[in-house]
């Protein structure tokens, strides 16, 4: 089974599944990152696998349970919009941490894959991060309840929402025009700065993120 979760100008996110014993030949017309989904109390996500445009591979599920991946296709093609030097300059100008997750899982000249893994009650409201690149994300988990926070005028965390029910497979693509900064005054745009908390007392929350360079 394959279901498109979200698509933007530069990125498509798909939920890919193989039943036990199923095999499939897969072609990649775009640069593609395939990222296995895990559940339970796994503290880290498995490393994703990158495929160049025009490549192909054979997928087989030899397990007794369904195999699942989140697939990120780079519709922008094989040329990055930002050089390494330009990205370094953007990140050096941020007010908050440009590391948008709990760990970088993969990076090349086209993308950076970053996970957010939050145990029940995990995350800190004042642990803000700041986006500088276009990005896509997919939340994976059962019975997720999230909080989204942003810095107030005094720098303290202000809740945009709390205990928000998030469905498994919720996905979005978010462009960051001008690196997430206002063109006129060079200040960070408000939607580029936030933090996330897992407000569930029972369920883990996992976010698969890809920043497009």
Spans of the chain below 70 pLDDT: 40-43
Q: In this predicted structure, what is the pLDDT of residue 40? A: 65
Q: In this predicted structure, what is the pLDDT of residue 76? A: 86
Domains within the chain, CATH numbers bracketed: 2-212 (2.60.120.10)
Burial group, residue 6, by CB count within 10 angstroms (0-12, 13-18, 19+): middle
What pTM, to 2 d.p., does this model score? 0.94
Q: In this predicted structure, what is the pLDDT of residue 185? A: 73
C-alpha distance across the termini of the chain, in Å: 29
Q: In this predicted structure, what is the pLDDT of residue 28? A: 97
Place of tokens 């800190």: 124
Cα angle, residue 168 at apex, residues 134 and 103 outer, rounded to 5° = 50
User: Bridge-partner residues for 67, per DSSP?
Assistant: 18
């Amino acid at each position: 089974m394959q279901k498109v979760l979200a698509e933007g100008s530069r990125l498509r996110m798909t939920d890919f599944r193989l039943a036990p014993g199923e095999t499939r030949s897969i072609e990649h017309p775009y640069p593609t990152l395939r990222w296995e989904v895990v559940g339970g109390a796994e503290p880290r996500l498995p490393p994703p696998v990158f495929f160049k445009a025009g490549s192909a591979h054979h997928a087989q599920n030899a397990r007794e349970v369904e195999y699942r991946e989140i697939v990120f296709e780079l519709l922008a093609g094989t040329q990055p919009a930002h050089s390494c030097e330009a990205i370094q300059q953007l990140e050096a100008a941020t007010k908050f941490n440009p590391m948008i997750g709990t760990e970088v899982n993969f990076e090349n000249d086209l993308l950076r894959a970053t996970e957010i893994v939050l145990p029940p009650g995990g995350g800190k409201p004042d642990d803000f991060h700041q986006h500088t690149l276009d990005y896509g994300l997919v939340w994976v988990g059962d019975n997720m309840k999230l909080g989204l926070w942003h810095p107030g005028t005094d720098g303290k965390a202000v809740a945009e929402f709390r205990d928000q029910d998030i469905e498994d497979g919720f996905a979005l693509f978010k462009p960051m025009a001008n690196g997430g900064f206002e063109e006129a005054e060079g200040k960070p745009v408000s939607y580029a700065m936030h933090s996330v908390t897992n407000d569930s007392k029972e369920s883990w929350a996992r976010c698969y993120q890809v920043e497009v360079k």
